A and B are shown apart, each in its own frame.
Chain A
Amino acid sequence: MSNRVTNLLVPIVSVVLGLIVGAIIMLVSGYSPIEGYAALWNGIFGDLYTIGETLRQITPYLLAGLAVAFAFRSGLFNIGVEGQLIVGWFAAAYVGVAVELPKIIHLPLAIIAAAVAGALWGFVPGLLKAKFRVHEVIVTIMMNYIALHVTNALIKTVSEGGDRTERIFASASLRSEFLENLTEFSRLHLGLLLALIMVGVMWLILEKTTLGFELKAVGFNQNASEYAGMNVNKNIILAMVISGAFAGLAGAMEALGTFEYVSSKGGFTGIGFDGIAVALLGMNTPLGVVFGATLFGSLKYGALNMPNAAGIPIEIVEIVIAVIIFFVASGYIIRLLLLRAAGKKKEAK
């Protein structure tokens, strides 16, 4: 079996194993897995409206996945996508409610604000990693909590003691009548287009620019890159900043598209953490992220149908997702088993 084929098989096997574990858990707790997965399927593809909503759910996952994947490619693990998303969400919503401008200025301004906020939240761990060799994993986790508490406090200030901001002005909204009419008035918005453009942007950066080449080189081997005359520290900071900007854009999708406001949160949205799974499943390539995000966005939205249609708690899908991450992370053992299975086949021949 070629390396390429095993690389593709690992995520597929992981997804299948995840679904099997989910089925076993449903069976053990007295639910019917067939009913459960049928409800999940209908929750994803049931009618035009659900398809529209599924696509809407995929949008932030695309960007969160890109953020994690981009950092991974530069040898960095950005667990802070969640926090970067939260500050991006707030920044976009704030620009959306604070001023009213012509759409052509207002919407780009709100989007850029989100990207800048996310980038700033990625800059801190990047700088600390570059200057003090502090591991980015712990710093980004801490930055997540700081983002959560700080944005909650800011929302309170902006809304004068309330729990959520006003609705954003229409001039900052990503809503599109065309997409809504197409999907029986789902909340599908133009953000999907932006997210897909960003997939192309990431591909361009990584494959067609000197910067992308340097970032990947640093990801492969820092010492070799240093020796080749690259500025490793600058590249680490840049990688985290760009990754954070992608994450901030994911927040803009929620602020300007789906919800059109920001409310204070008791906990994390989970989108940033699922972004890790999306990136891993997509093997950190832009195209892979599209597949990963499609899978997770569909699972997440489809799960909402499970309690009503089959009486099964939606958490079963979260369990499936966790198991998939677990198996993707344990890719080594799956590879080994696949190779062994392939070897046996050869002997049998």
Chain B
Amino acid sequence: MSFMDILYFIVPSAIFYAAPLILVAIGGVFSERSGVVNIGLEGLMVIGAFVGILFNLLFADTFGGMTPWLALIAAMVAALLLSLLHAVASISFRADQVVSGVAINLLAIALALYLVKSIFDKGQTDFISERFARYNVPFLSDIPVIGPLFFTSVYNTSFFAIGVAVLAWFVIYKTPFGLRLRAVGEHPMAADTMGINVTRMRYVAVMISGALAGIGGAIYAQTITGDFGHSTINGQGFMALAAMIFGKWHPLGAMGAALFFGFAQSLSIVGSSIPYIQEIPNVFLLILPYVLTIFALAGFIGRANAPKANGKPYIKGQR
């Protein structure tokens, strides 16, 4: 196997694994930029994955090829509603945001499995029949080198995820909304003084994170696993959280980190059939994203500064 063949093998699968991570990590960026820590991303992804699969199974006959896309909308709505719970607890009820996030994670997996067992009478759902189509992008796939790497047998969802990342960068850094969002996360009292409604901004940000995490979960389930069970989303949400930190709370940084983690994930899965890489014990590839995140946090890979007010409830009139 030549070096190029290896690249043709790995790069598309890395992008494929990265797409859900990108979306969820961007969701995390929105939430944390507003000053609300969202450990609950994992749980929001779980609900997205569950609702996506359920919708797909129920409506595959009705909507045909459109089903996976419509399932994304259903998953988005469901995860958005669940994220409201986190918003109410951490913004209005002044709960410890990390504890509330942990509760969201536990609740989501328990609720989803409870419903799976109630509906299907077994531990996991059936496999979906309608999947996202892979195809070759016309013209672009004919370009030598780049064509086979990026434009041959790709999923639309990958382009969608990258599009969302660019859009998020524009929204957060180039619009008044983004400026307010960042202000609320850095110094809520100053923002409040300037007439920004801190509570509303934070609610909106957490809801965006819920929506994106839901879509990410549904994409993961509908492209990678094809059904839903207790281990469908096994740490993907935390991996996205890691990507967000590794990307320094910046949408494009988060995308880059997610692509890298996708690369690591695909290596650990397809690595056994690639020379040189199959010599490395699998466990090193499995723990790579987590170890790198710890290094990134410790400042060995450039200092990352979290939004200043991240994790603190804003209490009006308190200094």
Task: Determine if B231 is an interface residue (Cβ-Cβ < 8 Å).
Answer: yes
Give the nearest-CB partner of A145 in chain B: B290
Evaluate contact between A323 and B107: CB separation under 8 angstroms. Answer: yes
Q: B89 in the interface, Cβ–Cβ < 8 Å?
A: yes
User: Provided the pairs A29-B118, A79-B102, A319-B110 are in contact, do residues A128 and B294 lie with their beta carbons within 8 angstroms?
Assistant: yes
Given contact pairs A273-B102, A273-B106, A280-B99, A128 touches B297 in the complex (Cβ within 8 A)? yes
Residues of A within 8 A of B113 (CB): 313, 315, 318
A-B contact count (CB 8 A): 131
| Residue B298 is within 8 A (CB to CB) of chain A in the complex | yes
Question: B96 contacts the other chain (Cβ, under 8 Å)?
Answer: yes
- The answer for the CA separation of A276 and B99 in the assembled complex, in Å, is 8
* Pick from A142, A273, A330: contact of B294, CB under 8 Å: A142
- Interface pair A313/B114, CB less than 8 Å apart: yes
A135-B99 in contact (CB<8A): no
- Looking at the assembled complex, report how far the CB atom of B81 sits from the nearest CB atom of chain A, in whole angstroms: 15
CB distance A332 to B283 under 8 Å? no
Judge whether B287 is part of the interface by a CB distance below 8 angstroms. Answer: yes
Find the B residue at minimum CB distance from A142: B290
Q: Evaluate whether A142 and B298 lie within 8 angstroms (CB atoms) in the complex, with A77-B98, A315-B110, A333-B93 already known.
A: no
On whether the beta carbons of A146 and B291 are closer than 8 Å, the reply is: yes
Query: Are A135's CB and B297's CB within 8 A?
Result: yes
B153 sits at the interface (CB 8 A): no
Distance of A13 Cα from B113 Cα, bound (Å): 26
Across the interface, B230 reaches (CB within 8 A) one of A137, A139, A267, A322, namely A267
Which residues in A have their C-beta under 8 angstroms from that of B281? 153
Q: Does A294 contact B (CB under 8 A)?
A: no
A141 within 8 A of B: yes
Please name all residues of chain B whose beta carbon is closer than 8 Å to the beta carbon of A316 when the two chains form the complex.
110, 114
Q: Which of B94, B98, B110, B234 contacts A137 (CB 8 A)?
A: B98
B117 touches A315 (CB 8 A): yes
What residue of chain A has the Cβ atom nearest to residue B238's Cβ?
Answer: A141
Residues of B within 8 A of A141 (CB): 39, 238, 241
B73 is an interface residue with CB less than 8 A from chain A: no
Interface SS of A by simple majority: helix
Considering the chains assembled together, what is the distance between the CA atoms of A330 and B101 in angstroms? 12
* Contact present for A149 and B114 (CB under 8 Å): no
**In the complex with contacts A142-B294, A326-B89, A153-B99 CB distance below 8 A:** no
Whether a CB of chain A sits under 8 angstroms from the CB of B137 is: no
Query: Is A25 part of the binding interface, using a Cβ–Cβ cutoff of 8 Å?
Result: yes
Which residue on chain A has the smallest CB distance to residue B291?
A146
Cβ-based interface call for B109 (8 A): yes
Cβ A329 vs Cβ B118 within 8 A: no
- A184–B183 Cα distance when bound, in Å, is 63
| B299 proximal to A (CB < 8 A) | yes
Q: Which residues of B contact A333 (CB under 8 A)?
A: 92-94
Is the C-beta of B286 less than 8 angstroms from some C-beta in chain A? yes
When distances are taken between beta carbons in the complex, the residues of chain A under 8 Å from B110 are 315-316, 318-319, 321-322
Query: How far, in angstroms, from A153 to B286 measured CA to CA in the complex?
Result: 10
- Quick one: CB contact mask for B107-123 with A, threshold 8 Å, 1 for yes? 10111011101100000
Query: How far is the CB of B38 from the nearest CB of chain A, in Å?
Result: 12
Which residues does chain A contribute within 8 Å of B107, judged by CB atoms? Answer: 319, 322-323, 326
- Residues on the A chain within 8 Å of B235, using CB: 145
Chain B residues with CB under 8 Å of A278's CB are none
User: Which residues of A sit under 8 angstroms from B115, Cβ to Cβ?
Assistant: 29
In angstroms, how far is the closest chain B Cβ from the Cβ of A292?
A: 14
> In the assembly, what is the distance between CA of A145 and CA of B114, in Å?
25
Which of B39, B89, B117 touches A313 (beta carbons < 8 Å)?
B117
Nearest CB of A to B43, in Å: 9
Q: What would 19 A/B residue contacts be, using CB atoms closer than 8 Å?
A: A29-B118, A134-B298, A135-B297, A138-B241, A138-B245, A138-B293, A141-B238, A146-B287, A149-B286, A149-B287, A267-B231, A315-B117, A319-B111, A323-B103, A326-B100, A329-B95, A329-B96, A330-B93, A330-B95
